[in-house]
Structure 1
Amino acid sequence: MFTPETASVAFIGTGVMGSSMAGHLLAAGYPVTVFTRTKEKAEKLLEHGADWVETPGDAARTSNVIFTMVGYPHDVEEVYFGEQGLFEQAKEGTYFIDMTTSTPTLAIRLYEEAKRRGMYSIDAPVSGGDIGAREARLAIMAGGDEEAFQEVLPLFEKMGTNIVYQGKAGSGQHTKMCNQIAIASNMIGVAEAIVYAENAGLDPENVLKSISTGAAGSWSLSNLAPRIINGNFEPGFYIKHFIKDMKIALEEAAKMGMEAPGLALAKSLYEQLAERGEENSGTQAIYKYWQNQP
């Protein structure tokens, strides 16, 4: 198992969640090198002792454990493949952990390429949003070889509290799709409940006191409904990334011959919001769908 003495960590992508996650590794004593497209996003990490590099390849040459958390599957491909990509620049024996929510197919491709090169690859998407990342309470769902998972488990434990090995390569991404499917319909319900309460002349905050601890209780109801009530639509998770996730889940469901009508409805509503310019808002902005309704 990796310790601060044996791990040289690189973190590629320090956005809303990645910055906090890398920060927990730094606080635990791990040496951390960071790369993000906009260096300013990494300033706090640099102030706390992280090293900056100009390219992902530069990070790969000096690290034996590399985390990636970027936006889209095509970003993952760009970071890993190519002459200046992670695979080409990393040393044999390097451990790659992709925490981007991406496709199971790409996760398997990363695993197979890493294995061919004498390296290790784990797909480990997360759930818990900006709050979970900040408080190191993320749910981490992992796919790949279990022996590799055990090696990096101490690092996962600095970022999350619910860490589950799900199975072979791609299993982490499939599990994240289950997570996103459950959230998609739930977010519609959360927003509709608040709109209903307002239309009925109720105090939404008071309504939450009754329903958030009952059978309707959920993470979204407890954490995102208060943001809606307070008019806070800042992203803990971007709508544009949620649409990407739902698209992946629908494509994977179609491959399995499965219909997902709740997911399809949620995707269509979020796409309407994105068309209105809300793509960079948080997922709780689904509430705004009803603001333009008759």
Structure 2
Amino acid sequence: MLSPDQTVIGFIGLGVMGKSMAGHLAKAGYPLVVYTRTKEKATSLLDEGAEWANSPRGVAVKANVIITIVGYPHDVEEVYLGEEGILANSHAGTYVIDMTTSMPSLAVKIYQEAKKRGIHAIDAPVSGGDIGAREARLAIMAGGDREAFLAVEPILNLLGPNVVYQGDPGAGQHTKMCNQIAIASNMIGVCEAIVYAEKAGLDPETVLKSISSGAAGSWSLSNLAPRMINGDFEPGFYIKHFIKDMNIALEEAAALGMDTPGLALARSLYVKLAEQGEENSGTQALYKNWK
């Protein structure tokens, strides 16, 4: 177990989810070194004692556990594999954990490059959005060497109660694709149900009391439908990032020879929204396609 007195955690990416996640680690007593593109996002953590680094390299030279949650696969590649990135500047024995939703093949590439340098790499994407990050209720799905996972599992447990080792490098990312495929079609159903209730003259909040606890229940119905009803489209998870995830899932499914019509339909609806200027809205803004 990596205890706070023998561990310095580097955290890269302090967006909608990352900032809360880093905060939980700080509250647990772990020293933090942080980097994010917009330093202002780190202000509250710096005020609480976190150390600022000017680059991923600055994080790598000071931390022996490094967590990243950035935007896109090209960001992950730059942060890990660039000359000023994590792998080129970390010490042997360091644990690196990418919690970005990214490409399984990239997770394998990072693992292989890390292993050459004596670094332990784990892909551990998350599900639960801003609420899950804020309340430390994330679902975390991990891939990599089991021994490395077991070493960092106590740290991951600080971020959520559902931390599951899925298998070899890339397995965490493949599991996240399963998660996103399930969410994609479900979001269509949630939106249609709420709009139907409104058009039928029902009180949608009262409808939710019945259907969210029955067979139709889902995380999206319980957490995002109320936001739709209240006209709250602030991002717990950005549409632009969900489109990125669906693109990866479609590519991976095609490589497996699998047809995913529900996923394809959801992606087309979200792309339509993004083209209308909603790419920085939360995924619950799908509701606007019917309104």
CA distance in 1 between partners of 2:207 and 2:144 (Å): 43
Map of 1:186-201 to 2, 5 A cutoff? 186-201=186-201
Same amino acid, percent of matched pairs: 71
TM (normalized to structure 1)?
0.98
> What amino acid does structure 2 have at the position aligned with 1:269?
L
User: Secondary structure at the residue paired with 1:242?
Assistant: helix
How far has the Cα of 1:82 moved from its partner?
2.1
CA distance in 2 between partners of 1:258 and 1:105 (Å): 18
1:234 aligns to 2:224 (yes or no): no
Deviations 1:92-138 (A, max 9, x none): 11110000000000000000000011111000000000000000010
How far has the Cα of 1:284 moved from its partner?
0.3
How far has the Cα of 1:87 moved from its partner?
0.9
Residue in 2 aligned with 1:109? Answer: 109
Map of 1:277-288 to 2, 5 A cutoff? 277-288=277-288
CA distance in 2 between partners of 1:110 and 1:150 (Å): 19
Map of 1:116-155 to 2, 5 A cutoff? 116-155=116-155
User: Secondary structure at the residue paired with 2:244?
Assistant: helix
Residue in 2 aligned with 1:163? Answer: 163
CA distance in 1 between partners of 2:16 and 2:39 (Å): 14
Residue in 2 aligned with 1:269? Answer: 269
> What amino acid does structure 2 have at the position aligned with 1:90?
S
- Superposition RMSD in Å: 0.5
User: Secondary structure at the residue paired with 2:33?
Assistant: strand
CA distance in 1 between partners of 2:284 and 2:152 (Å): 33
Deviations 1:137-179 (A, max 9, x none): 1000000000000000111011010000000000000000000
How far has the Cα of 1:290 moved from its partner?
1.0
CA distance in 2 between partners of 1:157 and 1:5 (Å): 18
How many matched pairs?
A: 291
Deviations 1:218-267 (A, max 9, x none): 00000000000000000000000000000000000000000000000000
User: Secondary structure at the residue paired with 1:163?
Assistant: strand
> What amino acid does structure 2 have at the position aligned with 1:128?
G
Structure 1 stretches of 4+ moved >3 Å: none
CA distance in 1 between partners of 2:200 and 2:96 (Å): 52
Residue in 2 aligned with 1:176? Answer: 176
User: Secondary structure at the residue paired with 2:84?
Assistant: coil
Residue in 2 aligned with 1:90? Answer: 90
CA distance in 2 between partners of 1:103 and 1:170 (Å): 8
1:30 aligns to 2:30 (yes or no): yes
How far has the Cα of 1:83 moved from its partner?
1.8
CA distance in 2 between partners of 1:57 and 1:156 (Å): 23
CA distance in 2 between partners of 1:209 and 1:63 (Å): 47
> What amino acid does structure 2 have at the position aligned with 1:60?
A
CA distance in 1 between partners of 2:215 and 2:82 (Å): 50
Residue in 2 aligned with 1:222? Answer: 222
> What amino acid does structure 1 have at the position aligned with 2:262?
G
Residue in 2 aligned with 1:10? Answer: 10
**Could you tell me whether the CA contact under 8 Å between 2:81 and 2:110 is conserved in 1?**
no
User: Secondary structure at the residue paired with 1:149?
Assistant: helix
How far has the Cα of 1:183 moved from its partner?
0.3
CA distance in 1 between partners of 2:168 and 2:93 (Å): 19
How far has the Cα of 1:84 moved from its partner?
0.9
Residue in 1 aligned with 2:52? Answer: 52
How far has the Cα of 1:60 moved from its partner?
0.2
> What amino acid does structure 1 have at the position aligned with 2:287?
Y
> What amino acid does structure 1 have at the position aligned with 2:269?
L
TM (normalized to structure 2)?
0.99
CA distance in 2 between partners of 1:42 and 1:154 (Å): 24
CA distance in 2 between partners of 1:167 and 1:81 (Å): 23
CA distance in 2 between partners of 1:220 and 1:145 (Å): 32
User: Secondary structure at the residue paired with 2:169?
Assistant: coil
Deviations 1:76-97 (A, max 9, x none): 0111112211111111111100
In structure 1, stretches of 5+ residues that fail to align are: none
